[in-house]
């Protein structure tokens, strides 16, 4: 039966001194984005895996333990929420979307349409839309998108035990239609942590560091593409794959190579759009969402916000398509979250809900599970707003006008590049380092954008920026001076 559960404790603002330093920016970050702890039930371990906002502006939560919860009060200025169980008995709800009176749920073994038919806010019907993929091991996670514009769910399927593909479609992305048709999209996935559209509406997923993945990354789910891990290539003989006309790559990747080299051998191989350099920018990136708040969350409208499970941090990313290939940059945002982050959700009033669990694994956040809300204080931070590729360098846009003297000095820009070994072994060190030369820097009339002319751009490399010497027009340093651009193509 549905129930309202008592609260564990009152809502609190997380103090900067209690956050624990990661980028050593927590105290400065707190001036611009405060973290609010949402009170939790006393008798329900709330391990949030997915969220959606209902038409009446309540928050729905899908949990690792298989519940769907409806909440009242989570968005209030001083939250005293109530939680009601809508459904239970599911299996790790890593995808949740509500439309036309039904929930569309991605769990380990299937995509399910769940409906309350008698109006008591308790699930009555459970319709399996798709269960065509196999399931044999607890680590065979299934991450589902929200419904796209055509009411499809995109599902990214983790490999078996993180290394193999023991049952059909493990390591694939499939698309499930409202009628239950299952359409294979692409192969080569290893261990996804989130799935959804980028800021341009194109479906991406978050990939973890591991075999054939030198670091975590955001990748585009390109129809017919190969995401890089060859374990799932065995399923091209499946009738569903053949009906779509998808062709198995003619060759398999060579180990201990480079992704750029192998992509020239394998036309299906999709490069990482945004590499998150290991430890510097996450260790196990997770759920993400685009800021469509219209400026309510600060100066990062239409950017991707993405969590990290292991390090309990939030990051930003921007993407662009150059010469037909997706690429972009990632940026630090907020450290010191309370647990391992799995999902995030923007609210109608422009805040960001985050949640997750440690699931018994080591994470930096001190709590076994938590639900938190990030709020913009209204103060404008001095940040790198975005980096964009140019034929002879990069354009760097800031959130506030820069100091001309520091910005026009080429020595203010410390830049190095590196790539990773594309290999069967787990992860990779940073290799093939170079040091491009910043030849000149010119500032736009409004002071917001600097054009860098650079000698030594490296295709296929991460371009690692340190702008610690840059100051705003009022003399302030950057809140975060680091950023990382993955240069797959030079315009």
All domains of the chain, ordered by start, with CATH? 12-376 (2.120.10.30), 384-487 (2.60.40.1220)
Average pLDDT over residues 457-471: 98
Residue 11 banded pLDDT, cuts 50, 70, 90: low
Q: What is the CA radius of gyration of the chain?
A: 22
Identify which of 381, 288, 405 has the alpha carbon closest to the alpha carbon of residue 341: 288
| Confidence at residue 21, expressed as pLDDT on a 0 to 100 scale | 67
Q: Is residue 1 pLDDT above 90, yes or no?
A: no
Planar angle of CA 195, 197, 199, nearest 5 degrees: 135
Residue 19 banded pLDDT, cuts 50, 70, 90: very low
| Confidence at residue 44, expressed as pLDDT on a 0 to 100 scale | 87
Are the C-beta atoms of 180 and 129 separated by less than 8 Å?
Answer: yes
- Give the pLDDT confidence of 68-88 residue by residue, as tens digits: 999 999 999 999 999 999 999
- Give the pLDDT confidence of 201-258 residue by residue, as tens digits: 999 999 999 999 999 999 999 999 999 999 999 999 999 999 999 999 999 999 999 9
Identify which of 356, 353, 347 has the alpha carbon closest to the alpha carbon of residue 308: 356
- Give the pLDDT confidence of 295-329 residue by residue, as tens digits: 999 999 999 999 999 999 999 999 999 999 999 99
Are the C-beta atoms of 66 and 107 separated by less than 8 Å?
Answer: yes
| Confidence at residue 296, expressed as pLDDT on a 0 to 100 scale | 98
**Rounded alpha-carbon distances, angstroms, from residue 376 to 345, 353, 379, 380:** 15, 12, 8, 9
Work out the mean pLDDT of the chain and round it to a whole number.
95
CA 49 to chain centre: 13
Place of tokens 């968005």: 75
| Dihedral pair phi/psi, residue 68, rounded to 5° | -115, 125
User: Rounded to an integer, what distance in angstroms lies between the CA atom of residue 313 and that of residue 336?
Assistant: 6
Q: Is 359 exposed, middle or buried (0-12, 13-18, 19+ CB in 10 A)?
A: middle
Q: Is 109 exposed, middle or buried (0-12, 13-18, 19+ CB in 10 A)?
A: middle
- Give the pLDDT confidence of 338-383 residue by residue, as tens digits: 999 999 999 999 999 999 999 878 899 999 999 999 999 999 999 9
| Confidence at residue 12, expressed as pLDDT on a 0 to 100 scale | 59
| Confidence at residue 13, expressed as pLDDT on a 0 to 100 scale | 58
Residue 180 tokens, joined: 């239950």
Cβ neighbours for 267, distance < 8 A, ≥ 6 positions apart: 249
């Amino acid at each position: 039966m549905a129930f309202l559960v008592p609260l564990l404790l009152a809502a609190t603002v997380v103090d900067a001194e209690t956050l624990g330093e990661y980028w050593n920016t927590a105290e400065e970050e707190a001036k611009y984005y405060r973290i609010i702890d949402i009170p939790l039930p006393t008798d329900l371990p709330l391990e949030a895996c997915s969220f959606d906002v209902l038409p009446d502006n309540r928050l729905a939560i899908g949990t690792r333990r298989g519940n769907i919860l409806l909440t009242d009060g989570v968005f209030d200025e001083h939250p005293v929420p109530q939680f009601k169980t809508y459904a239970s008995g599911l299996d790790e709800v890593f995808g949740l979307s509500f439309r036309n009176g039904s929930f569309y749920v991605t769990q380990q073994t299937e995509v399910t349409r769940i409906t309350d038919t008698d109006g008591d806010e308790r699930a009555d019907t459970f319709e399996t839309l798709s269960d065509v993929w196999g399931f044999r091991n607890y680590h065979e996670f299934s991450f589902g998108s929200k419904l796209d514009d055509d009411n499809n769910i995109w599902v990214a399927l983790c490999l078996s035990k993180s290394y193999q593909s023991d049952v059909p479609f493990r390591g694939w992305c499939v698309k499930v239609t409202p009628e239950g048709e299952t359409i294979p999209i692409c192969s080569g996935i290893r261990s996804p942590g989130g799935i959804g559209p980028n800021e341009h509406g194109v479906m991406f997923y978050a990939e973890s560091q591991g075999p054939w993945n030198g670091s975590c990354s955001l990748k585009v789910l390109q129809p017919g593409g190969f995401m890089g891990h060859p374990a799932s290539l065995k399923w091209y003989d499946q009738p569903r794959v053949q009906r779509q006309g998808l062709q198995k790559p003619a060759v398999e990747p060579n180990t201990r190579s480079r992704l750029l080299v192998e992509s020239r051998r394998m036309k299906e191989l999709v490069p990482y759009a945004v590499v998150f350099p290991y430890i510097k920018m996450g260790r196990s990136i997770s759920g993400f969402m685009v800021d469509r708040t219209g400026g309510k969350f600060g100066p990062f409208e239409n950017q991707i916000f993405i969590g990290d499970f292991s390090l309990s941090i939030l990051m930003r990313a921007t993407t662009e398509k150059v010469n037909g290939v997706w690429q972009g940059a990632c940026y630090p945002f907020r450290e010191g979250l309370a647990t391992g982050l799995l999902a995030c959700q923007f609210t109608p009033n422009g805040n960001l809900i985050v949640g997750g669990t440690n699931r018994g694994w080591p994470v930096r956040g001190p709590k076994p599970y938590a639900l938190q809300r990030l709020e913009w204080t209204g103060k404008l931070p001095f940040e790198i707003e975005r980096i964009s590729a140019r034929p002879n360098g990069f354009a760097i846009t800031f959130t506030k006008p820069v100091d001309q003297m520091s910005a026009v000095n080429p020595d203010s820009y410390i830049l190095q590049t590196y790539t990773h070994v594309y290999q069967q072994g787990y992860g990779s060190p940073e290799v093939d380092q170079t040091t491009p030369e910043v030849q000149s820097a010119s500032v736009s009339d409004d002071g917001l954008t600097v054009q860098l002319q650079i000698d030594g751009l490296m295709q296929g490399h991460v371009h690692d920026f340190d702008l610690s010497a840059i100051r705003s027009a009022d003399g302030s340093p950057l809140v975060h001076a680091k950023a990382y651009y993955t240069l797959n193509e030079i315009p």
